[in-house]
Structure 1
Amino acid sequence: MKTKLKKLSEQTIVITGASSGIGLVTARQAAKAGARLVLAARSEDALRQLTEELSEQGCEVIYVVADVSKQADVKRISSEARQKFGSFDTWVNNAGVSMYGKVVNESIDDMRQLFETNFWGVVYGSLEATEHLRHRGGALINVGSVLSDVTAILQTMYSASKHAVKGFTDGLRTELEMEDAPISVTLIQPAAIDTPYPLNAKNYLDKVPQHAPPAYAPETVADAILSSATSPQRNILVGGAGKLFKGMEEWTPALLDKFMETAFAPMSQSDKADRRNRPSGLYEGAGQLQERGNYPGRTREISTYTKAKLNPTATAAIVAGTGLAVAAIINAFSKNDGNGKTPDKASEGPGRKQDNKATPTSDKSTDQASAQNSDNVEDTGKGANGANGAGRAPRAGSAEATPGDVRGPVADKSKQGKQSGSKN
């Protein structure tokens, strides 16, 4: 049976994890498109504020305070959606949490809690959506990650949970196809996205986590989600860097491992000291209506690769974008001396003998700058003040910000300076 999906303006959409990042941006974009919304998260203040914001814009919207790691809470989301709107057409499983650190140092309790949210939350939501949509049709959209296929060093358990999400989503999709159910099941696989994800993660490191470059805007993921709500898709990779990493995993796994160890790991940590095991979003809601996070470079506002993927007539752009992205990663990797440092210029010239007395010019921050500058090869990005992070004031919640900046209200980029709330 061919699945027929409605226009966004005719849909009721359920979004979990709606209080920040991808979920927040998706909710705002769906509201602009005229959809009715059911917003779920653990942070009631943020949900109430967002509901008021969208209601003032004419959106029909309700919120449900819910922890997706608890099946009873997920059932309540479905129940309240049907009670208010009679039904729903699309269910987006977006809520997620993470941890940074070496897996051997992390507690089993924390690992289990991460899976309760990232995996079992998706299972609970998918079962509720499937039960309701099986006879009326609609879309189930699960937000996985490029880490559903590749494992990021220092994010092992998060990667494992996203691998599990992919396995579950693929299996559910085929079972529904076998019974000819009119449900479109999509897996969204974002690359690094500039959201508060690193800041809300449980941290076992001594430094504040951050995304390694390149990082994309949450709008790129929201576009893919809403496209999947109106046009059936199997899976969508968001960001050409994700396609590159998948290719490296398949064709050059040893090179990918070395890149993770020597470049990715140091670039995933800022220069700002952090307190280990500080409060995080692992067990309690941390969403405070912040779309962006602490990514220090220029965020890619679009993904040429993903736009081409969603538009089959533009497949040539996929090839071009992926090829240029390869150059970006190789460039970032080649700048490394194997210890997370960049060799000085005395050792870079062709045919020149390395001067053992030369002092390395950089630590991890130089690697970050090199990789961030190479982000230009695929997408056109916009940084603060239109620059590559240079000369900008610290963003609230960023690694450069003061504690007051981190927890205080922030300017929402999508609102052109209008206060949107505090960080997720």
Structure 2
Amino acid sequence: MKHRYKPLKDQVIVITGASSGIGLATARRAAKRGARLVLASRNDAVLKEICEDIRAQGGEAIHVVADVGVKEQVQAIADAAVRHFGGFDTWVNNAGVVVFSHLDDLPIEEHKRLFDTNYWGVVYGSEAAVAHMRNRPEGGTIINVASINAEMPVPILGAYSASKAAVKAYSEVLRMEMIHENAPIKVTVLKPSGIATPISDHGRSHMGHRGKVMPPLYDVEVVASAILTAAQRPVRNITVGETGRLSEIGWAMAPSLFDRIIAWALPRVQSTDQPPLERDNLFQAGDDGQVYLEGRRSGIPVSPYTQLRVNRKLEAGLGLAVATTIGVLLAQRMLGRR
């Protein structure tokens, strides 16, 4: 069987972590493009409000209250999609939590809980998606939201970085296994740089103050756009944001230097003068419903690198232009030697 991509207006899309941030922005953008949606998170009241708003604007959406760290609850998301829409075409594993802490200050039960959401939630979601998509003639797409920290782990976010590295490794092996099986399933790994989502507004901290995501921060819509692009055409891995890509390159070229720079700088740029939250979303639903970080209404609105990566024609055209330019320069140099 061969995977067949559909326009968004013909798709049913499942999104976990849909009650805030990237998940909420993706849901709203997909609804405007005509996709039918199955939205999941732990926050029943906020999900209801989001779905009502989508339906009021002519869209179709249902919600499922689920903790992605519980396999049976993730399966219930898939079952609801099949029951209500007859199936689904794209599954976005987006749910995630963060704890700001030095590794030796992080209680093991919190470390495990973070992995339950960030890693096992992806595993359970991917398993449910594969079971459904494997025997569909048109197959389907799994989009797993990792992080630039999967490539560049940082202090204070050690457990988070480890969970996202696990997501990346799991997703890439899953892709290989689907290729070996000749299953009509595509797997995309998304690695956002710093994004202006409310994840740090919900995050637990053991630092004595509230943590924050390292700037600069890209707009949430940049990530939502990349997700919906991957739902419509083959994209293997996407790093969202130039800062993330430059960090990947720098880490690969000079890892020891980057170790020292990050060890010195990150604890400073990831701290605030605000007290820790009285209520976070590690073990319970947070105060969701917001796309952006508290006090912000936007981030860096565009990422040329990301646009290049998700636009195959533009990427091929730029590659041809670069190759042509190099060829012309080499030819001129050779002629100049005669």
Q: TM-score, normalised by structure 1?
A: 0.72
Is 1:41–1:65's contact at 8 Å kept on the other side of the alignment? Answer: yes
Partner of 1:120, secondary structure, is helix
In the superposition, relative to structure 1, how do residues 79 and 312 fare at CA in structure 2: closer, same or farther (>3 Å)? closer
What does 1:312-351 correspond to in 2, within 5 Å?
312-315=312-315
- Structure 1 match to 2:217: 215
Measure the CA separation in 1 of the matches of 2:260 and 2:299. 25
Is 2:147–2:192's contact at 8 Å kept on the other side of the alignment? Answer: yes
Q: TM-score, normalised by structure 2?
A: 0.90
Report deviation, 1:264.
2.2
- Structure 1 match to 2:24: 24
Deviations 1:156-191 (A, max 9, x none): 000000010011101111001001101111011101
Task: Specify the code of the residue in structure 2 equivalent to 1:235.
Answer: N
Report deviation, 1:297.
11
Gaps of 5+ in 1: 320-424
Report deviation, 1:153.
1.4
Partner of 2:273, secondary structure, is strand
1:56 has 2:45 as partner = no
Moved more, 247-256 or 229-238: 247-256
Report deviation, 1:233.
1.3
Out of 162, 165, 171, the residue aligned to residue 164 of structure 2 is 162
Gaps of 5+ in 2: 320-338
Moved more, 181-190 or 305-314: 305-314
Partner of 1:14, secondary structure, is strand
Task: Specify the code of the residue in structure 2 equivalent to 1:305.
Answer: Y
Report deviation, 1:294.
4.0
1:257 has 2:252 as partner = no
1:283 has 2:246 as partner = no
Task: Specify the code of the residue in structure 1 equivalent to 2:243.
Answer: A
Is 2:194–2:218's contact at 8 Å kept on the other side of the alignment? Answer: yes
Report deviation, 1:279.
2.5
- Structure 1 match to 2:34: 34
- Structure 1 match to 2:230: 228
Aligned length in residues: 317
Is 1:304–1:317's contact at 8 Å kept on the other side of the alignment? Answer: no
1:202 has 2:204 as partner = yes
Runs of 4+ in 1 over 6 A off after TM superposition: 295-298, 316-319
Deviations 1:76-96 (A, max 9, x none): 001111000011111000001
Report deviation, 1:123.
0.4
- Structure 1 match to 2:7: 7
In the superposition, relative to structure 1, how do residues 298 and 132 fare at CA in structure 2: closer, same or farther (>3 Å)? closer
Task: Specify the code of the residue in structure 2 equivalent to 1:229.
Answer: A
Partner of 2:247, secondary structure, is helix
Measure the CA separation in 2 of the matches of 1:90 and 1:71. 19
Partner of 2:305, secondary structure, is helix
Partner of 2:189, secondary structure, is strand
Measure the CA separation in 1 of the matches of 2:114 and 2:279. 14
Higher relative contact order (CA 8 A, sep 6+): 2
Question: Matched residues, percent identical?
Answer: 41
Task: Specify the code of the residue in structure 1 equivalent to 2:141.
Answer: A
Measure the CA separation in 1 of the matches of 2:253 and 2:263. 18
Report deviation, 1:258.
2.1
- Structure 2 match to 1:174: 176
Measure the CA separation in 2 of the matches of 1:206 and 1:294. 19
- Structure 2 match to 1:272: 274
Moved more, 10-19 or 254-263: 254-263
RMSD between superposed Cα atoms in Å: 1.8
Partner of 2:272, secondary structure, is strand
Task: Specify the code of the residue in structure 1 equivalent to 2:247.
Answer: F
Partner of 1:230, secondary structure, is coil
Partner of 1:83, secondary structure, is helix
- Structure 2 match to 1:116: 116
Task: Specify the code of the residue in structure 2 equivalent to 1:20.
Answer: S
Is 2:196–2:296's contact at 8 Å kept on the other side of the alignment? Answer: no
Measure the CA separation in 2 of the matches of 1:246 and 1:159. 14
User: Which protein has the bigger helix share?
Assistant: 2
Measure the CA separation in 2 of the matches of 1:295 and 1:104. 32
Measure the CA separation in 2 of the matches of 1:43 and 1:183. 30
Report deviation, 1:271.
2.3
Deviations 1:360-396 (A, max 9, x none): xxxxxxxxxxxxxxxxxxxxxxxxxxxxxxxxxxxxx
